Amino acid sequence: MSERTVIQIYTTDENREWLEQLADEEDTSISEYGHEMIEDHIDRETGEHQYGRYGTDTEIEVILDSLKEELGETLDQFESETLEEVRHIQRVRTAYLISIWKLIKDDYSTAEQQLAMKFAERFTGQELNTESEAILAGEGSSSEDGQGSAGAAGDGA
């Protein structure tokens, strides 16, 4: 404990009564209560309790700004860590979907394939790439597909 120095102050009787009442409420002496008041004032003036000098609304705003900044940094970090993983998953998913489509497309007519694409457009709410429709129409009428279908049909016979 640091050495204490005596400070004598002069005040009004009302202030002395008020200080006595506050000290009694805190269950301490006037001297100790005055010491705590001086410590609090020094802390505010030196910035050790930087929010103590602000009103409650300002303190809340400062805390919210700090939280917003921290949340933004956390989200940026999360996005940078997971973005490549999400892209990889999307590429794999797309490859699987193309493979499935390629495997079953011979089981359905061009009209049924186009109907399925229209259903997918309505379901997703997005217009699908017309390149997919061109692939469907082009591959369905190619001689290579015809040979593949004929070969498959011949193998089954």
Q: Which two tokens stand for residue 81?
A: 């860590």
Q: What is the pLDDT of residues 131-156, one digit of tens each?
A: 544 444 444 444 344 433 333 333 33
Query: What is the model's pLDDT at position 131?
Result: 57
Domain-by-domain residue ranges, the chain? 8-50, 63-126
Q: What integer pLDDT is reported at residue 127 of this predicted model? A: 83
The average confidence (pLDDT) of the chain is: 75
Average pLDDT over residues 43-63: 67
- The model scores a pTM over 0.85: no
Measured in whole angstroms, the distance separating CA 61 from the mean position of its chain's CA atoms is 20
Distance of alpha carbon 22 from alpha carbon 40, whole angstroms: 15
